Amino acid sequence: MGAVEDVRLLRARLGEAEGRRMDAPVLPVEEGLGELLPGGGLRGGASYTVAPSGALLLALLARASREGAWCAVVGMPELGAEAAEQAGVALDRLVLVPEPGARWLAVTAALADVLPVVAVRPGGRVSEGEAARLSARLRDRGAVLVAQGVWPGAEASVEVSEPEWEGLGAGHGHLTARALTVTVRARRMPVPRRARLLLPDARGALHAGAARQPAPVPLPLRAVG
């Protein structure tokens, strides 16, 4: 059975269980991310782009999933159930379509008809027209699209930089957490927002507690005189 047929079965099962509305509220995200995103979360009917970081993508889905929203991940075979669970995603409300094939866009659109959050890694270039048609569908259903990579007309982009692992001593120890800078750029925000977060923390999820800033890179010494 193909991915599109599987989505049709899912649609038949869920029906109106989600209570989808055109005035869908903003879906909550983990503390720390909410302070960066316009509106404080994922706005229904909008699309977002995420840097190629599976941990960041799962962190965006985690809280909405725990609070009752069904989520789908399309075209990311490396993101399995174990990683999703560690990130805080509720597995009983997660749909994984790791290999959607050439019809990945049709699968994504069909899932957006029945689920409030759909994350996708585009399997090819998305034209302005294709993105506009899917955006109209998102607005009609109040769904959120999170694309890993380029997506025309996205509400905001979420990126990571300056990663720094913690837990290693002088050649020994175990990696316990990764501090990084998360940057959000949005059409509705004139200035990008940034925060230093732990992703993952010691539990494998996102932590908004104070993370130390990366050490400055020392300048090379030059002889004087």
Half-sphere exposure of 185 (CA within 13 A, CB side): 8
151-179 pLDDT, tens digit each: 999 999 999 999 888 765 545 555 668 89
Reading phi first (left if > 0) and then psi (alpha if -120 to 50, else beta), residue 161 is in beta
Within a 10 A sphere around the Cβ of 100, how many other Cβ atoms?
Answer: 22
Q: Which residues of the chain have pLDDT under 70?
A: 1-24, 167-176, 209-225
24-155 has which CATH code?
3.40.50.300
DSSP 98: S
User: Using CA atoms, how far apart are residues 39 and 46, in angstroms rounded to an integer?
Assistant: 12
d(CA 167, CA 149): 30
| Both tokens assigned to 98 | 């790791």
User: Taking the domains of the chain in order of start, what are their residue ranges?
Assistant: 24-155
d(CA 107, CA 22): 21
Q: Which two tokens stand for residue 119?
A: 């994350």
Structure confidence at residue 143 (pLDDT)? 97
Cis before 200 (ω within 30): yes
Classify 171 in phi/psi space as left (phi over 0), alpha (psi -120 to 50) or beta: left
Rounded CA gap, 76 and 169, in Å? 34
